[in-house]
Amino acid sequence: MLLIRPVTAADAAAARALVLAGLAEHWGTLDPALNRDLDDILGSYAAGLFLVAYAGQELVGTGALLPEEPGVARIVRMSVAARWRRQGIGQQLLQALLAWATPAGYTRIVLETTATWEDAVNFYLGNGFRPVAVQGGDMQFSRDL
């Protein structure tokens, strides 16, 4: 059974490690300077929501939502541990973020991912996000709630 809940201080190090492992796996290398928000997850995401997903005692996924502008929030830090992918965890995290967004007053959700990251692009397209731009190798998406 999957448990999805807001991050706590006890989760922060494992959440950081999970996200960084996914980035290193995708890119083959990692620039820690590009991920400073993960050094203080509770502080960096205090204005939004950072979720963790657990299968038993194992942290298996993360996803976050940050205010972008009035009525608009940005999804970031969607990550699922490699051995847990394709089991619906990303889907459940996404649905939990969207379920929180509407009562929080958001009417549009935006995000971006690498345009060549086909699994991620197809995941967001399959969940009602529409591409709005491609810039610098990144594809930007939007979905109205």
**Residue pLDDT, tens place only, 36-67:** 999 999 999 999 999 999 999 999 999 999 99
**Residue pLDDT, tens place only, 81-118:** 999 999 999 999 999 999 999 999 999 999 999 998 89
pTM: 0.93
Residue-wise DSSP of 49-85: EEEEEEETTEEEEEEEEEEEETTEEEEEEEEE-GGGT
CA-CA distance, 116 to 97, in Å (whole number)?
24
Q: What is the mean predicted confidence (pLDDT) over 133-138?
A: 93
Q: Which pLDDT score, from 0 to 100, does residue 117 have?
A: 87
Domain ranges of the chain: 2-144
Q: Is 56 exposed, middle or buried (0-12, 13-18, 19+ CB in 10 A)?
A: exposed
Q: Which pLDDT score, from 0 to 100, does residue 27 have?
A: 75
CA-CA distance, 5 to 2, in Å (whole number)?
10
CATH superfamily of the 2-144 domain: Gcn5-related N-acetyltransferase (GNAT) (3.40.630.30)
